[in-house]
Homo-oligomer: A and B are copies of this chain.
Amino acid sequence: MFSRVAIIGLGLIGGSMGLALRKAKAAQQVVGYDLGRGVSDRARKIGAIEQHYHSLADTVRGAELVILATPVGAMKALLQNLSDLLSPGAVVTDVASTKVQVISWAEEFLPSSVSFVGGHPMSGKELSGVEAADAELFSNYIYCLTPTARTRPTAVSKVSSMVESLGARVRFLEPAEHDGQVAGVSHLPFIASAALVNTAAESASWGDASLLAANGFRDISRLAAGNPIMYRDICLTNSEAIVRWIDGYIATLRDMREHIATHDRDIEETFAQAQHVRLKWQEEQSIKE
């Protein structure tokens, strides 16, 4: 059990972590901080935190575990600001979607008296904000941890216990391995969705065609509604891996295009492969849904 846990950023993820940690009685005290007007108050009212502060210094003072639950775009400045404020021995973890860049900032700015363990919960919701927070958000989902050779084992063990108390399943990965895999299964899907929406909307017939768009368009375009700033920051911090995946995606599309342009009936096998992979993945997911 932790003595004091501080959560910086009380959106969907931070708020849900607070609810889950308090529900699991994983800490004597869970406190929080958020720059958004009224956000901390709402987090306290729904029980995600017991107390909130108006300064980072007060929030992290005496905290054994500090959880950075801000978008990745805020992470650099946050780590810089925290460098003088953390109590010696504190363990810091984050929830950002990209890890290599965040870890390099943590190594650059945090003092050697504290430990940093990169983290990334693989769950989410379409809704955002503390109002959508849910103690079960992480339940049975994978939660990546990306310790490096420099990370203290005791810090890894503390963050692992925290993750388990959320009901999530810890998965250890190298930071670069994490970023490459997540670029494929999370960042590329967003790019594919946004590119499809823009392609459709930039066509001269969009006004009419949009009226014909039905369930297929609905499914493929859902991700495109994601926060542009969050995705910009993901692209800025995981550019290389995302570009590699886009190149692979374009190559696959070109290949399909050639089959279709030449009226090749064997395109059926390509589609059957995709169907098989998707159905198999769906089946393996079923414990989560």
Contact = CB atoms under 8 A, between A and B. Distances in A.
Given A124-B214, A188-B199, A277-B198, A220 B193 contact: yes
Given A190-B216, A216-B185, A195 B278 contact: no
Contact of A256 (B124, B194, B213): B194
Interface of A is mostly: helix
Interface residues of A, number: 97
Interface stretch (A62-70, A148-156, A281-289): A281-289
Given A193-B220, A195-B249, A198-B274, A265 B185 contact: no
B198 A181 contact: no
Interface of A: 122-126, 141-142, 144, 171, 173, 177-178, 180-182, 184-186, 188-203, 205, 208-229, 231-232, 235-236, 239, 242-243, 245-254, 256-257, 259-261, 263, 265, 267-275, 277-279, 281-282, 284-285
**Those 6 A-B pairs whose CB atoms lie nearest each other, nearest first:** A228-B271, A194-B274, A181-B209, A189-B220, A185-B213, A232-B268
